[in-house]
Structure 1
Amino acid sequence: MQDYLQQLAAYWIGYKMRLVEAVGLTNDAMHIHGSLLILFGSAIILRRRPDSVWCWLIVLLAELFNEYADLQGQAPGEATTDAAMHDLYNTMFWPTIILILGRFMFPRAKKSDATPNISGDFADQPLK
């Protein structure tokens, strides 16, 4: 399993370095944009709101894997604990803000336990 993770990490670092060169953004900007892309992508795939804990956890897991790959020494200048913490803060800042503020600013609608009043007399006509 460890060998597989190391191979996957080496592949990811190569892909990440080519992506940074192709896009032309800084490493910090890529962390911010990537975290939001993963957050909203997971919300679409899971059919949940972006302020869901599950979506936030997916971003966290992706970032932890990214930092694992960086700490393996494959990425130049990224194999330090300080760089890993900087990237973790940078990546998780906006998903955490969305998680916290989304719950206060846009509370979920409460499901009503009452059954709707359906009349059987004129079932083909709308309720008035």
Structure 2
Amino acid sequence: MTLIEFAALFTERKTWLVTSTDLSKDALHIYFGLALFVAVRLMWRWRGGWLVAWLAVLAMASGGEWLDMSLEAQRSAIQPDAAHWHDIWNTMFWPTVLLLIGRWLHPEAKPAGDAAGEVSSEDAERRLEQA
């Protein structure tokens, strides 16, 4: 399958989703961005998972726009750059918000003294006083 055939299939599937779900293309960008972000974040629970999920959405958004531009170039119907940036913005907005607040939603780094075997001097003094 050539790039143009793949881009045409991608556009055909996207158009089918728009008509069958009765959603706008902007709404689909938002839903797909959020769905991919949450799916990757649930699968990647290790350190850096928030960033990995955000990068996956960025790759999907950029790849989708690249396919759209490839097909537009083939058909000599190139959209203005602002339209493509709008799609990327729509896709990336909520994953970016979740990335920025992710440390508060699910802190990955434990404060000093919480690791197994480490006891702060205050905790040691309290334990001695209780004994």
Distance 1:87 1:50 in 2: 26
1:100 corresponds to 2:100: yes
* Superposition map of 1:24-103 within 5 A: 24-47=22-45, 52-72=50-70, 73=72, 79-103=79-103
1:114 corresponds to 2:117: yes
Q: Deviations over 1:73-115 (max 9, x none)?
A: 189x873311001111111010000000112454224271528
Name the amino acid aligned to 1:6: I
Q: In structure 2, do the counterparts of structure 1 residues 50 and 23 end up closer, same or farther at CA, with 3 Å as the change threshold?
A: farther
Question: Higher helix proportion, which one?
Answer: 2
CA contact (8 A) 2:47 2:108 kept: no
Q: Indicate the percent of aligned positions where both proteins have the same amino acid.
A: 33
Q: In structure 2, do the counterparts of structure 1 residues 113 and 98 end up closer, same or farther at CA, with 3 Å as the change threshold?
A: same
Q: In structure 2, do the counterparts of structure 1 residues 30 and 107 end up closer, same or farther at CA, with 3 Å as the change threshold?
A: same
Q: Secondary structure at the match of 2:36?
A: helix
Consecutive unaligned residues of structure 1, counting only runs of 5 or more, are 116-128
Query: Cα RMSD between the aligned structures?
Result: 2.9
Q: In structure 2, do the counterparts of structure 1 residues 49 and 24 end up closer, same or farther at CA, with 3 Å as the change threshold?
A: farther
Q: Secondary structure at the match of 2:57?
A: helix
Distance 1:38 1:112 in 2: 32
Name the amino acid aligned to 1:22: S
TM-score normalised over the length of structure 1: 0.73
Q: In structure 2, do the counterparts of structure 1 residues 78 and 97 end up closer, same or farther at CA, with 3 Å as the change threshold?
A: farther
TM-score normalised over the length of structure 2: 0.71
Q: Secondary structure at the match of 1:107?
A: coil
